[in-house]
Amino acid sequence: MITNRNYRELFFGESQEYLKEVNSALVNLEKNSKNYEAINTVFRLMHTLKGMAATMEYNELADLAHHLEDVFDAFRSKQIKISSKVMDIIFESIDAFALIVNDLREEKPISVQVDKYLDKLSKVYSREKETEIVEVEFPKSGIVEFDPGRINELKKQGKKVLHIKVVLVANCLLKGARAFLVLKRAEALGEVIKVSPAEELLKEDKFDISFELLMATEKNPEDIKKGLLKILEVEEVEVSPFENVLLEEEKKQFISLRKIQSMRIPVERLDKIMNIMGELSIVKSRLVQIVKNYDSVLLKDTTSFVERLISTLQDETLKMRLLPISYILDNFFRTVRDLTRKQNKEAELEITGSEIEVDRVVLDEIADPLLHLIRNAIDHGIETVEERKHLGKKVPAKIFIKVLREKGQIIIEISDDGRGIDFAKIIQSGIERRFVTREETLEFKARQVLDILTTPGFSTRKKVTKVSGRGVGLDVVKDKLDAFGGRLDLESKLGEGTKFILSLPLTLAIIKAMLVLVGEYTYAIPLMNIRETVKINNQDVKHIKNIEVIRIRDEIIPIFRLAKELNIDAQNSEDKEKTSIVIVEGRVKSVGLVVDKVIGEQDIVVKPLAAFVKKTKGIAGATILGDGRVALILDVLNIK
Catalytic residue among 23, 331, 376, 529: 376
Q: Is 163 a catalytic residue?
A: no
Reply yes or no on whether 390 is catalytic: no
Nearest alpha-carbon partner for 516 in 596, 453, 573: 596
Rounded distance between C-alpha atoms, residue 164 and residue 247, angstroms? 9
Give the Cα separation of 586 and 445 in Å (integer).
14
Which residues on neighbouring strands pair with residue 337, listed in sequence order?
A: none
**Can you tell me whether residue 399 is helix, strand or coil?**
strand
* Residue 221, CA distances (Å) to 189, 229, 455, 463 in order: 11, 12, 36, 20
> Active-site residue among 47, 102, 565, 585?
47
Q: What is the dihedral of CA 338, 342, 346, 351, to 10 degrees?
A: -30
Task: Please state the φ and ψ torsions of residue 267, each to the nearest 5 degrees.
Answer: -60, -35
Contacts of 503 (CB under 8 A, 6+ apart): 409, 410, 411, 486, 487, 488, 489, 528
69 is catalytic: yes
Question: 597 — phi, psi (to 5°)?
Answer: -160, 140
Instruction: Please give the Cα distance from 13 to 266 (Å, whole number).
Output: 10
Question: Please, which residues have CB within 8 angstroms of residue 523's CB and are 6 or more apart in sequence?
Answer: 515, 516, 517, 562, 595, 631, 632, 633, 634
Identify whether the C-beta of residue 92 lies closer than 8 Å to the C-beta of residue 100.
Answer: no
Q: Is 342 helix (H, G, I), strand (E, B) or coil?
A: helix
- Residue 56 near residue 11 (C-beta atoms within 8 A): yes
Specify the pairing of strand 542-544 against strand 530-537: unpaired
Identified catalytic residue from 30, 60, 69, 383: 69
**What gap in Å lies between CA 349 and CA 375, rounded to an integer?**
12
Give the DSSP H/E element, type plus range, for residue 190. none
| DSSP 3-state of 323 | strand
Task: Give the torsion through C-alpha atoms of 531, 415, 329, 71, to 10 deg.
Answer: -170
Distance between CA atoms of 270 and 260, rounded to whole angstroms? 13
Given a contact cutoff of 8 angstroms between Cβ atoms, the answer to whether 474 and 459 are in contact is no
Write out the catalytic residue numbers.
47, 69, 376
